[in-house]
Amino acid sequence: MDGQKFVSEKEFREMQNCNKFSGSRFQKIDDFDSFHQSNLVGMPISYQNEQTKRNGMILSINGIKVIGNDITTISELRQKLQDKDGILPNKLSIVFAGRKLGTTLLAHNVKNENTLLTYNIKHENTLHLIVRLPGGGCVFNYMPSSLLDPQFDYDFTNIDDGENQYTRGGIPYRRPCGWQRFAIKVTGKYGDDDKWLGTDENSWPVSYHGTAKHNARKICEEGYLLSKGKRFLFGRGIYSTPDVNIAKDYATEFEFEGKKYIMIFQNRVNPMNLVKIEEHNYWISKEDKDVRPYGICIKRI
């Protein structure tokens, strides 16, 4: 690094305003891993050609490999995904580091087309793809975005686990294959360390609960309220099941734009206060706090 000086972008701007360049050339470095920053300015340094400035990168988006560079726009990225996987650009959202990628609205309703560089996306970064439910927002056209956590959405519609097996809290976890899951914002909601959301022995097992569309918002906001229960076939409690196919039998279908859907909730349940009715594969939680909804699953029927 002999003969080079590195300063912050703020310092560079101040030097620029005071005409302190002394004939040196400056370069903004956007991918300088050894400094663990994205905005370092070096001087003096040889001029960087256009091809080098456009740092080439390979990105992984839900397992799909896409090639781009610093100035690839988000619209172009969506188009690349359509070319690769046939997903229409207006039917998907892309998330990186918890942020949904898109355009920025400037003054006078002028839109700024953001690029990969805007979000500091680097070579071999992993992005997440959220495919929108056919027919638009459907259930969520009245759901406040503050209740949802789209970075954890997952589309199981075309997934078949076959012989693959999964566990949560040491108990078999049957994933909602054939459904599209929308994540509820629950991180830190219950005031603990969120270990209940994990995948190891200390996490809570997964269950499902069929319901009607109009209940979605209340359950997201308040959870399950035992006080609202009316019938308890095997004793008082919140009823759920580890089998997504059993839960769907208790879901009420609804219609949107001429198509019919059903909805179930995906939960984590406290294994310490769980009663299992093996004959029917029902789980009964004796208290409201022992069932924590963390996902809404939608399926077209």
Tell me how crowded residue 290 is: count the other CB atoms within 10 A of its CB.
23
Q: Average pLDDT over the chain, rounded to whole?
A: 76
Share of the chain above pLDDT 70, in %: 68
Mean pLDDT of 34-58: 41
Task: Band the pLDDT of 14: cuts 50, 70, 90.
Answer: low
DSSP element (H, E) containing 193: none
What is the DSSP annotation of 71-92?
A: T-BHHHHHHHHHHHH---GGGE
Q: Which residue has the tokens 């093996």?
A: 278
Q: DSSP assignment, residue 208?
A: E
Task: Tell me: pLDDT of 141 over 90.
Answer: no
3-class DSSP assignment, residue 43? strand
Task: Tell me: pLDDT of 223 over 90.
Answer: yes
Task: Tell me: pLDDT of 129 over 60.
Answer: yes
Q: Tell me the pLDDT tens digit for each residue of 52-97.
A: 345 577 777 766 788 888 888 888 888 887 777 666 666 567 877 7
Task: Band the pLDDT of 12: cuts 50, 70, 90.
Answer: low
The structure tokens listed for 160 are 């078949």
pLDDT at 231: 72
Give the integer Cα–Cα distance in Å for 102 and 211: 33
Mean pLDDT of 183-203: 90
Nearest partner of 121 among 74, 87, 76, judged by Cα: 74
Give the integer Cα–Cα distance in Å for 156 and 177: 5
pLDDT at 34: 36
pLDDT at 5: 53
Tell me how crowded residue 200 is: count the other CB atoms within 10 A of its CB.
10
Task: Band the pLDDT of 198: cuts 50, 70, 90.
Answer: very high
Q: Tell me the pLDDT tens digit for each residue of 156-181.
A: 888 899 999 999 999 999 999 999 89
pLDDT at 85: 67
Which range among 181-185, 198-202, 231-235, 261-265 shows the weakest confidence by mean pLDDT?
Answer: 231-235
Give the integer Cα–Cα distance in Å for 29 and 209: 51
Query: Which one is predicted more confidently, 233 or 280?
Result: 280
Cα separation values, 59 from 11, 41, 131, 222, Å:
32, 26, 18, 38
Task: Band the pLDDT of 106: cuts 50, 70, 90.
Answer: very low
Task: Band the pLDDT of 196: cuts 50, 70, 90.
Answer: very high
Task: Band the pLDDT of 38: cuts 50, 70, 90.
Answer: very low
Please name each of the domains of the chain with its CATH number: 5-48 (no CATH), 56-131 (3.10.20.90), 138-300 (3.90.228)
3-class DSSP assignment, residue 232? coil
One-letter amino acid at 21 equals: F
Mean pLDDT of 247-275: 91
pLDDT at 37: 34
Give the integer Cα–Cα distance in Å for 268 and 294: 7
Task: Tell me: pLDDT of 1 over 50.
Answer: no
Strand 40-43 versus strand 5-8 pairing type: antiparallel
